[in-house]
Amino acid sequence: MKLLFEKSVAGRRCALLPKCDVEAVDLPKALLRENPPALPELSEVDLARHYTELNHRVHGVNCGFYPLGSCTMKYNPRIDEDMAALPGFAGIHPLAPKETVRGCMEVFDTARKYLCEITGMDDMTFQPAAGAHGEFTGVLLIKQYHKTRGDEKRTKIIVPDSAHGTNPATAAMCGYEVVNIPSAPDGCVDLEALKGVLGDDTAGLMLTNPNTVGIFDENILEITRLVHEAGGLCYYDGANLNAVMGIVRPGDMGFDCIHMNLHKTFATPHGGGGPGAGAVGCKAFLKQFLPASKLMQGGDRIQVRSFMGNFLVVVRALTYLLTLGREGIPEAAENAVLNANYLMQKIKGTFEPAFDRICMHEFVLDLSEYKKETGVSALDVAKALIDYGMHPPTMYFPMIVHEALMLEPTETESKETLDWAAEVFREVYARGKTDPAYLHDAPHHAQIGRPDEVRASRNPVLRYTKP
Ligand SMILES: *Cc1c(COP(=O)(O)O)cnc(C)c1O
């Protein structure tokens, strides 16, 4: 496929700029370019076809099943996009006078009220632009809390090995020493291990719940009690809140602070780098440390992003909350859990679950036995699924399971789709037993087969150079 630059023909245009309705000014010479930018020149139809062709080459939720564990690639209702596109929302300027954006401020306030209610928190910021950014903000609250109390000896954050990888990264970014603790055989936090590392140097615990093997930790109340007893605070990674929203509240489990991924659970499509929102909620005693926009709200609090954050993501979240309502939110959570358990039961008997127990919104398959038997790896299976028009599950994550495939069907898939997916897994399983070579070479019908991922990440080619 040719690039836009290669399709360019001098003089072609597709934009009709409106007539200038303000007085023209001569810019100072220092601000002018010497040469015009080398932009591609195309007609509108060629541009439309270019992007449509690109669109056909990628797999999205609108194309088919996308069980990428931990990422919640669910279908987002169109009405959420419609609301975010309303000119009164999409067209505002961050420096518009407050009295002209009252409606937008109400969107923030209402979304904050509902999300605090769902999480059991007292206040919330929408500044962070992603989940990891939310974690960073939340752990800064914890840090600020200890610092304000003069409790400077707390230098460690405890992170269970079933946490999302961003958790230890966040704690390290915030200047903490990361203390890893193992999981018990049932996939939950090992309480004895936790007790062993708690002390007066504990700043807090970061817990992903449900954790990365899709399990809700049954000892959650005991865990938060122990951490508090040691003087630490409890951080809840609620990126995947779709498993529990409307059913249980992290605030009631004893957590002091949480982030949610509005771009996973609350109807903003994601992938490709955003925009997203990692809303951070906290209990009242941490409220004073929440970030604020210096320009808009004044004060000397931290600011983690410009202005108020990605506003339109909040518009989508509020629309989603209002359309689902008090009954719909827990129903979505129930369906997320039901779908995951249904698919796990249908696949079981071929590929085996790493933890054979009721899961939450996702589950992990352990292919290590299968690999020993056939030589077919989790990667081979993932690649083979592409030929069926299915996005592969998350691979080799979490690291505590060997040859892991992690599936999250999400709440928006139908029984028919799940039945089809289970059938595909059975077919791939059987093929691997009789014809492993076929799977080693998979995919056979995709545009790209097996790119050199290490090279792509070490030497990314991000700039077009004329051949
Ligand atoms: C996705 C995810 C994150 C990170 O969110 P980003 O928006 O990608 O930064 C953190 N924790 C969990 C459990 C997640 O699933």
Cα 14 to averaged position of ligand 1 atoms, centre (Å): 38
Cα 261 to averaged position of ligand 1 atoms, centre (Å): 7
Four-residue CA torsion sign, 408, 411, 412, 417: positive
Would you state the pLDDT for residue 127?
96
Would you state the pLDDT for residue 179?
98
Cα 116 to averaged position of ligand 1 atoms, centre (Å): 19
The total of other beta-carbon atoms located within 10 Å of residue 104's CB is 18
Cα 239 to averaged position of ligand 1 atoms, centre (Å): 5
Separation of alpha carbons 171 and 158, rounded Å: 9
Would you state the pLDDT for residue 297?
72
Condensed to tens digits (0 to 9), the pLDDT of residues 267-278 reads: 998 877 778 999
> 264 CB contacts (<8 Å, ≥6 apart)?
71, 72, 131, 239, 240, 241, 242, 270
Ligand 1 atom nearest the C-alpha of 132 is 9
Cα 166 to averaged position of ligand 1 atoms, centre (Å): 7
- Return the higher-pLDDT residue of 207 and 293: 207
Output the residue whose Cα is nearest ligand 1's atom 6: 131
Residue to mutate (ligand 1; options 207, 261, 263; most atoms within 8 A of CB): 261
pLDDT at 299 over 80: no
Instruction: Identify the CA nearest to 93 among candidates 369, 348, 334, 308.
Output: 308
Residue to mutate (ligand 1; options 70, 236, 280; most atoms within 8 A of CB): 70
Q: Which tokens belong to 279?
A: 């809303």
Q: Identify the weakest region by mean pLDDT among 16-25, 110-119, 225-234.
A: 16-25
Would you state the pLDDT for residue 385?
97
Output the residue whose Cα is nearest ligand 1's atom 3: 131
Separation of alpha carbons 33 and 37, rounded Å: 8
Whole-structure pTM value = 0.91
Q: What is the DSSP letter of 124?
A: E
Cα 446 to averaged position of ligand 1 atoms, centre (Å): 28
pLDDT tier at 400 (50, 70, 90 boundaries)?
Answer: confident
Question: Residues 137-162: what's their mean pLDDT?
Answer: 96
Show the beta-strand stretches assigned E in 17-104.
none
Q: Which tokens belong to 398?
A: 């979490």
Would you state the pLDDT for residue 467?
72
Condensed to tens digits (0 to 9), the pLDDT of residues 79-125 reads: 999 999 999 999 999 899 989 999 999 999 999 999 999 999 999 99
Q: Is residue 193 within 8 Å of 181, Cβ to Cβ? A: yes
68 - beta bridge partners?
407
> What residues flank ligand 1, with Cβ below 6 Å?
70, 130-132, 164, 166, 208, 237, 239-240, 261, 276, 278
Cα 374 to averaged position of ligand 1 atoms, centre (Å): 34
Ligand 1 atom nearest the C-alpha of 130 is 7
pLDDT at 431 over 90: yes
Q: Which tokens belong to 18?
A: 């409106």
> 250 CB contacts (<8 Å, ≥6 apart)?
119, 120, 121, 209, 236, 238, 258
Condensed to tens digits (0 to 9), the pLDDT of residues 132-145 reads: 999 999 999 999 99
Cα 70 to averaged position of ligand 1 atoms, centre (Å): 7
Classify residue 174 by burial, with Cβ atoms within 10 Å: 0-12, 13-18, 19+.
middle
Would you state the pLDDT for residue 16?
82
Q: Which tokens belong to 404?
A: 């892991």
Residue to mutate (ligand 1; options 68, 209, 213, 237; most atoms within 8 A of CB): 237
Cα 276 to averaged position of ligand 1 atoms, centre (Å): 11
> 284 CB contacts (<8 Å, ≥6 apart)?
122, 123
Question: Residues 202-224: what's their mean pLDDT?
Answer: 94
Q: Is residue 131 within 8 Å of 166, Cβ to Cβ? A: yes
Q: Is residue 280 within 8 Å of 314, Cβ to Cβ? A: no
Classify residue 407 by burial, with Cβ atoms within 10 Å: 0-12, 13-18, 19+.
buried
Would you state the pLDDT for residue 201?
98
Output the residue whose Cα is nearest ligand 1's atom 8: 131
Condensed to tens digits (0 to 9), the pLDDT of residues 336-383 reads: 999 999 999 999 999 999 999 999 999 999 999 999 999 999 999 999
Would you state the pLDDT for residue 140?
97
Output the residue whose Cα is nearest ligand 1's atom 2: 239
Cα 303 to averaged position of ligand 1 atoms, centre (Å): 21
Cα 43 to averaged position of ligand 1 atoms, centre (Å): 39
Instruction: Identify the CA nearest to 445 among candidates 388, 377, 393.
Output: 388
What percent of the chain clears pLDDT 90, i.e. is strictly above it?
A: 84
Classify residue 299 by burial, with Cβ atoms within 10 Å: 0-12, 13-18, 19+.
exposed
Instruction: Identify the CA nearest to 308 among candidates 153, 131, 124.
Output: 124
Question: Residues 33-44: what's their mean pLDDT?
Answer: 92
Ligand 1 atom nearest the C-alpha of 72 is 15
Residue to mutate (ligand 1; options 162, 164, 304; most atoms within 8 A of CB): 164
pLDDT at 291 over 90: yes
- 């836009």: which residue's tokens? 4
| Cα dihedral: 65, 68, 70, 74 (round 10) | -20
Would you state the pLDDT for residue 98?
86
Question: 3-class DSSP state for residue 223?
Answer: helix
- Rg of the Cα trace of the chain? 25
Show the beta-strand stretches assigned E in 61-214.
123-125, 156-160, 177-181, 202-208
Would you state the pLDDT for residue 83?
97
Average pLDDT, the chain: 94
Ligand 1 atom nearest the C-alpha of 166 is 10
Separation of alpha carbons 60 and 73, rounded Å: 9
Instruction: Identify the CA nearest to 130 among candidates 282, 329, 271.
Output: 271
Would you state the pLDDT for residue 58?
87
- 């009405």: which residue's tokens? 79
Condensed to tens digits (0 to 9), the pLDDT of residues 112-130 reads: 999 999 999 999 999 999 9
Question: Residues 46-57: what's their mean pLDDT?
Answer: 93
The C-alpha angle 396, 400, 402, rounded to 5 degrees, equals 50
- Return the higher-pLDDT residue of 196 and 213: 196
